[in-house]
Amino acid sequence: MNVAVANCAPGRMCPADYTYSPGAFDRAPDFKAKTLYVAGGVYGNLAALNALESLAATDAGPVEIVLNGDFHWFDADPDWFAAIETRAARHRALRGNVETEIARASDVGAGCGCAYPSSVGEDLVRRSNAILERLRGVTTPGSRERLAKLPPHLVTQVGGLRVGIVHGDAASLAGWRFSQEELDEPGRRAWLADIRKASRIGLFASTHTCLAALRDYSLPTGRLTVINNGAAGMPNFSDSTFGVVTRVAMSASPHRPLYGLNHDGVHIDALPLNFDQPSFLNRFLECWPEGTPAHDSYLHRILHGPNYTVAAAAS
């Protein structure tokens, strides 16, 4: 994937306030956890939030849930948006590009804020900008103020493992360098070694690119694991209907993971999130009927999943 984009068009550009130094993660943990669930890309799916909370409730001991951005997206209806705001406020959360752009006092020309690479077609970019604009229309001053105060990243510690929770990657809120394609690019290892040294993070948990991945590296600067949950609120694999969430814990998962690994005694797993698909689909279609941008961009994925496999995510 070519992450460099020649123009600064809405949906392609990365605003200056999206960037941060990997050294920003070299700090004391914002909180500690024995069991952590990270769910990015809920996309307004209330059924996915129901499933997430039910999944966490069956885990032994206290569980920390972090929504690492883009918990809003399809909820471009005042009541639906308000319901997502109420539910998201129960948990720790980050600003994804969606929350960042709908919270702005003025438009900076970023469109949806996705910072799409050149491999993404212009039609999809245009539709994403239109979705964001409609979503912005249902926000309230109070919700914008709350979303603007959310952090762009968090640091936690699970056992002896320092965990960086991001929306995009280790240097940008909408970065694509934690996508499956970029993580498998041999030339990316030097950057991974640099961020490992600067951040002192052993595990980065991300989302944003909308496709799940788990990779583990032995680098000159130390071991680094990266897990991207893809999307909690949409299917992630061909012919599937479940979302994916990340579980990081001192104990083995009581739920059968799709794939996972052990990093110095800490269990890192991708769990299927089996939400009520008919309930979500009905609400989606009420808000986004045929001919609307979200319908054109996402209905096929909601019904059939993307052209992507569990083996590709876990390799």
* Highest mean pLDDT of the ranges 10-19, 105-114, 216-225: 216-225
H helices of the chain, in order, are 46-57, 78-88, 97-103, 122-136, 141-148, 180-183, 189-199, 277-287, 293-304, 310-314
pLDDT at 34: 97
* Contact status, residue 135 vs residue 115, Cβ threshold 8 Å: no
pLDDT at 65: 98
Q: What is the band of 7 on the pLDDT scale with cuts at 50, 70, 90?
A: low
Nearest C-alpha neighbor of 189 from the set 212, 222, 211, 156 = 222
Distance from C-alpha of 99 to C-alpha of 188, rounded to nearest angstrom: 28
Go through the domains of the chain in sequence order and give each one's CATH number.
20-96+152-314 (3.60.21.10)
Q: How far is CA 278 from the centre of its chain?
A: 23
- What average pLDDT does this structure show over 106-110? 84
Task: Specify the range with the lowest mean pLDDT, choosing from 102-116, 204-218, 244-258.
Answer: 102-116
Flag whether pLDDT at 291 surpasses 50. Answer: yes
Q: What is the band of 1 on the pLDDT scale with cuts at 50, 70, 90?
A: very low
pLDDT at 92: 98
Each residue of 40-76: pLDDT tens digit? 999 999 999 999 999 999 998 899 999 999 999 999 9
Flag whether pLDDT at 5 surpasses 80. Answer: no
Distance from C-alpha of 224 to C-alpha of 158, rounded to nearest angstrom: 15
pLDDT at 108: 84
pLDDT at 8: 77
* Contact status, residue 269 vs residue 256, Cβ threshold 8 Å: no
pLDDT at 6: 38
Flag whether pLDDT at 3 surpasses 60. Answer: no
- 123: CB partners within 8 A, 6+ apart: none
pLDDT at 13: 86
pLDDT at 225: 98
Mean pLDDT of the chain: 95
Nearest C-alpha neighbor of 178 from the set 243, 242, 246 = 246
Each residue of 145-161: pLDDT tens digit? 999 999 999 999 999 99
Q: Number of helices and strands (H, E) in the chain?
A: 10, 12
Tokens describing residue 33: 């956890």
